[in-house]
Amino acid sequence: MSSKLFAIVAGAGTGTGRAVALRFAKTYPVVLMARRPESYHDTVSEITQAGGRAVGVSADVSDERSMGTAFDAIKKEFPGFKLAAAIYNVSSGYMIKPFLELKLDDLEGSLSGSAQGLFNFAQKTIPLLLDAVPESEYSPTLLVTGATSSIRGSAKFGTLAAGMFARRALTQSLAREFHPQGVHVAHSIIDGIIDVPRTRTYTTNGGVEDSKLNPESIADSYWHLHTQSRSAFTQELDLRPYVETF
């Protein structure tokens, strides 16, 4: 693998973001992007200590100016590197509430993380991914994390669903525009509770082993998506624990 390729993970906290960063760091230097340094600090150390290369960058994906500054820093950090993979794993803030108790701000918070954030991230990364097409062993890849709320608007989850549906719409549109140019764009519907410190006390599916999504397992499928041949791209897949009802 060329040493001149790197990857970016936006939304690199605990959970999926951390596991995907660790997985891609086995092959590429990785940029971990999050709003606050405490989100990526430990993972950056973990990768570095394991002999990989990782750089943390603080940015607010929903803010164009913040993203401009972040990508200037990234380009300085990786001069001459091409972008092999960009992963958008930002959580959208949302409230689970009866509709009439919601405020417009609740909707806008969800849209901001899901739609504006992905829009800005894609504006910055797609040109870099296109630029890597001739050199990357694997097709340069934009991977976007979705959820059940990406395909189903449930009662009380309206603002979350609005954001996640919009995120999926953007991802599909990008796939249809950029697949023919050699950039792979895929969306994963994560259906279930992810097994992270914050959810450790949740009892799901009777609490049996593997009843929550293991972030490392998610990362394995993200890596598989990245390495797919351009003759057989997946645009969308679902991921859920074996005991999850669907």
Residues 118-147 that bind its own copies (CB under 8 A): 119-120, 122-123, 126-127, 139
Minimum CB–partner distance for residue 86 and its own copies (Å): 14
Sequence-distant (6+) residues with CB within 8 A of 59 are 10, 33, 34, 35, 66, 67, 69, 70
Q: Is 180 in the site for its own copies (CB under 8 A)?
A: yes
Q: How far apart are CA 28 and CA 3, in angstroms?
A: 7
- Residue 72 burial (CB count, 10 A): 10
Question: Cα dihedral sign for 147, 150, 152, 156?
Answer: positive
How many residues bind its own copies (CB under 8 A)? The answer is: 81
Round to whole Å and give the CA distance between 84 and 29. Answer: 10
Residue 60 in the binding site for its own copies (CB under 8 A): no
Asked if 24 contacts 216 with a C-beta cutoff of 8 angstroms, the reply is: no
Indicate the residue among 17 and 241 with the shorter CB distance to its own copies.
241
To its own copies, the closest distance from the beta carbon of 237 in angstroms equals 4
Name 195's Cβ contacts closer than 8 Å, sequence gap at least 6.
Answer: 212, 213, 214, 215
Rounded to a whole number of angstroms, the minimum distance from the CB of residue 32 to its own copies is 22
The one among 52, 144, 218, 226 contacting its own copies by CB under 8 A: 218
Q: Counting contacts by CB under 8 A, is residue 198 touching its own copies?
A: no
Amino acid type, 7: A
Q: For residues 80 and 151, what is the distance between their CA atoms, to the nearest angstrom?
A: 39
Q: Which residue has the tokens 């992963």?
A: 87
62-101: which residues touch its own copies (CB under 8 A)? 64, 98-100
Q: Is 20 in the site for its own copies (CB under 8 A)?
A: no
Question: CB-wise, 46 or 238, nearer to its own copies?
Answer: 238
Per CB under 8 A, does 200 bind its own copies? no
Nearer to its own copies, 49 or 201 (CB): 201
What phi and psi, each to the nearest 5 degrees, are found at residue 82?
Answer: -110, 155
Using the contact rule CB under 8 A, the part of the chain among 3-11, 53-61, 82-90, 170-178 near its own copies is 170-178
CB nearer to its own copies: pick between 75 and 152 = 152
Overall residue count recorded for the chain in this entry: 246
| Chosen residue from 30, 89, 195, 226 binding its own copies by CB under 8 A | 195
Under the binding rule (CB under 8 A), the answer on residue 239 touching its own copies is yes
